[in-house]
Amino acid sequence: MGVCCSKDKTSTGFTDEGDEDYKEEDICAGDWGARVRLKGSCSMASMFTQQGRKGINQDAMTIWEDFNGEPDKIFCGVFDGHGPAGHIVATHIRDVLPSKISLAMKSSEHNNSDRINEGDSHNDDKGCSKHSDKDETYHPQISSWTKSFIKAFEELDNELSLDPTIDSYCSGSTAVTLFRQEEHLLVANLGDSRAILCTRNKKKRLVPVQLTVDLKPNLPYEAERIKSCNGRVFAMPEEPNMCRLWLPDENSPGLAMSRAFGDFCLKDFGLISTPKVYYTKLSSKDEFVVLATDGVWDVLSNKDVVKIVASARKRSMAARLLVGHAVQAWKTKYPNSKIDDCAAICLFLKLPSSIAKATSGFTERSVNQRTGSDKLATIRNNDSHEAQETTTDNDSKEEWSALEGVTRVNTVLQVPRFSTDNSQKRSENKMLNDG
């Protein structure tokens, strides 16, 4: 199971008008006929990464079209490694996680026991909880998807701990992943990478909606779990705004996130691999989603990112343009700091105009047309567009400054001694799906 890096010569793919950036040689074969990309772009998405000045690029990313062998499903993921072997861990997660999620989702389709009964709400010992019974439109399918993501994340982390070929004791990786099927969008986040949605307000202006929370040790509910496991959370004098996760009796490793793959030196002290999973029901107002590592968010605001991506002349260049702006922002804002690795995926939610015109009979089903069992969880209140965490707990009700992220110089401050090793921008009112 997984990615086979042989070329898929039979696949053609869609392209924007006049766009020559979609290349067949960038396509690999995935499970159940999925079309896997590790670089480049496709008709609905673009991705790009650039190495910083801290050494080897530890960011990785992937796009799986026809996820689970179904043309209306797509999976995207961005992974940020840290530590001596962080690049190895991030690459491993990139290659294995989509397959595990796919398999878990396939299995859950034939397993009714995966459904969560309404009203079954409680906190577990990992800081994650069942869906709240207050959401009357909640549908078991969303629960099944959520459980599949969580299961895949946790199983992969456990397998990583037993893999002798990867030194993940003091190295690890974050992950922000996305699954879309028609109007249903599920985002799973582990660590301090981030996902945002670009939508339109009542005045038709582009606005960002943050879909995830940056999972850092200073979040109250994260700090509480860490401290209950004898881990320590504090900031060093030289960086008072950056709380880190430390071992009980040693000022190391100083991890700038509270959840991650790997980093097994901290797994007994509050670090977990359980992702936060969020569900959003899309509408015709929504334009695109951006997934990016913290190298982007440390220097660009959510509003900056939306403006940059919307200004791209071609979809295939959107991620490259975004990363380029982030790198320049590092040089301007933090000239004395080493530029971090930056990686981004831009997923566009509407077909390019060239494809839409050529696709006879294609229509988007309105949310208002949904009835009966076709009604899934609606995450809209008037014109506001809020992400709903499908594993709701107390933390989802708190307003916290971590939504804007925290600038940091290094993810891992210190490795333990026992380790072995921005052309004029397009008007905001212009549609993004003109190809």
> What is the percent of the chain where pLDDT is above 70?
68
**pLDDT of 125 higher than 80:** no
- Give me the chain's average pLDDT, please: 79
Using CA atoms, how far residue 119 sits from 130, 150, 280, 369, 375, in Å, is: 9, 20, 20, 27, 18
- Distance, in Å, from the CA atom of 27 to the CA atom of 37, rounded to the nearest integer, reads 5
pLDDT at 411: 67
**pLDDT of 434 higher than 90:** no
Question: pLDDT higher for 425 or 111?
Answer: 111
For residue 376, the SS3 value is coil
Structure tokens belonging to residue 346: 């831009």
Question: pLDDT higher for 423 or 83?
Answer: 83
pLDDT at 45: 95
pLDDT at 242: 93
**pTM of this structure:** 0.77
- Distance, in Å, from the CA atom of 163 to the CA atom of 181, rounded to the nearest integer, reads 33
299 close to 334: Cβ distance less than 8 angstroms: yes
**pLDDT of 285 higher than 60:** yes
Q: Residue 236's Cα: distance from chain center in Å?
A: 28
Nearest to 177 by CA among 161, 162, 190, 192: 190
**pLDDT of 151 higher than 90:** yes
Per-residue pLDDT, averaged over 316-328, amounts to 97
Interval 64-116: pLDDT, tens: 999 999 999 999 999 999 999 999 999 999 999 999 999 999 998 867 444 44
187 close to 78: Cβ distance less than 8 angstroms: no
Interval 376-416: pLDDT, tens: 333 333 334 444 554 434 343 333 334 444 444 566 665 44
- Distance, in Å, from the CA atom of 34 to the CA atom of 28, rounded to the nearest integer, reads 8
Q: DSSP assignment of 181-228, as one string? A: ETTEEEEEEESS-EEEEEEE-TTS-EEEEE-S----TTSHHHHHHHHH
277 close to 149: Cβ distance less than 8 angstroms: yes
Question: pLDDT higher for 203 or 11?
Answer: 203
Q: Which amino acid is at 404?
A: E
pLDDT at 376: 35
Q: Which of 16-30, 32-46, 264-278 has the highest mean pLDDT?
A: 264-278
Give CATH for domain 26-356+376-404. Answer: 3.60.40.10
Per-residue pLDDT, averaged over 168-182, amounts to 97
pLDDT at 141: 87
Count CB-CB contacts under 10 A for residue 102: 25
Weakest-pLDDT range from 48-57, 137-146, 365-374: 365-374
pLDDT at 76: 98
Structure tokens belonging to residue 289: 């989603």
For residue 427, the SS3 value is coil
Phi, psi for 310 (deg, rounded to 5): -65, -20
Weakest-pLDDT range from 103-112, 291-300, 351-360: 351-360
Query: The dihedral of CA 302, 175, 70, 435: what is its sign?
Result: positive
Where exactly are the structural domains of the chain?
26-356+376-404
Weakest-pLDDT range from 55-64, 346-355, 356-365: 356-365
- Distance, in Å, from the CA atom of 135 to the CA atom of 274, rounded to the nearest integer, reads 23
259 has which bridge partners? 272
pLDDT at 2: 59
**pLDDT of 375 higher than 60:** no
pLDDT at 3: 54
Structure tokens belonging to residue 213: 């929370």
Q: Residue 373's Cα: distance from chain center in Å?
A: 28
Question: pLDDT higher for 18 or 322?
Answer: 322
Per-residue pLDDT, averaged over 281-302, amounts to 97
